[in-house]
Amino acid sequence: MNTLFQTLPAEVRAQLRETPAPDWLQPMLATLTDRRFSDKDWLFERKFDGERCLAYRDGDRLRLLSRNRLALNDTYPEVAEALAEQTARRFVTDGEIVAFEGSATSFARLQGRMQITDPVQARRTGIAVYYLFDLLYLDTYDITSPPGRITGQNRHRFRESQSRHHAHHHSACAGRRSDDGTSAITLPNPHRR
C-alpha cells in the first residue's frame, strides 16, 4: 500500500478495496451560480480558466486526456514527463492546464498552445502549468467512491499530502494569483459518476 495512505486514519484505510485501473473516469464539472455561501462540508478552491486534463498512469504507460477524451501528451509533453517521473506506478489525477499573463491565468494565451500537437514545438512555448487538484485513483484503489471513499477532513488531508508528492511541477507557480473565480466542492461526495 502506498505510503500516502498512511496519512489516513486506520478506519478509513480498512474500508479501501482494490479495483482495476480505470480507462476513464468522468471528471466533475462546475455549474455556474451567483449564489454565495459558506459551509464546513464544502471545500473552496480557485477556479482556473484553462484546459481540463486527466492523467492516467498504469506502469510505464501515461495518458493525458481532455474532458472530451482527446489525447494531450503531445500538446503538453512537459506535463507528461513530470507525471511519468513520479514514484507511484498507477494513478489517475485531475487538474487544469493553464497559461499566465502576468499574475492571472490567460485562456487566450493558452489557446495557441492547445492547437499544437508537435511535442518539440509545444515545449518551446513554455507556457503550460498543470494545477493538480485531485487524486482519483492510486495504486489499486479508487478513492472517490464507497466503500473506500475518502470523505471530509480525511479527503482534504489526503489531497494536501498527494499534491505535495505528485505535483512538483505545480510548485513553480505557487503564490500566483488567479482572478477566474472560486469552485466549491462538497466534501462528502466530491466526485459523482
What is the rounded distance in angstroms from the CA atom of residue 134 to the CA atom of residue 162? Answer: 8
Q: Which residues contact 57 (CB under 8 A, 6 or more apart)?
A: 63, 83, 84, 86, 88, 89, 90, 91, 92
What contacts 24+ positions apart, CB below 8 Å, involve 151-155? Answer: 151/187, 151/188, 151/189, 152/41, 152/187, 152/188, 154/8, 154/9, 154/12, 155/187, 155/190
Grid coordinates belonging to 184: 466549491
Q: Which one is catalytic: 47, 109, 123, 176? A: 47
What is the dihedral sign for C-alpha 77, 80, 83, 84? negative
Residue 47 falls in the annotated catalytic set: yes
What is the rounded distance in angstroms from the CA atom of residue 64 to the CA atom of residue 171? Answer: 20
Residues designated catalytic? 47
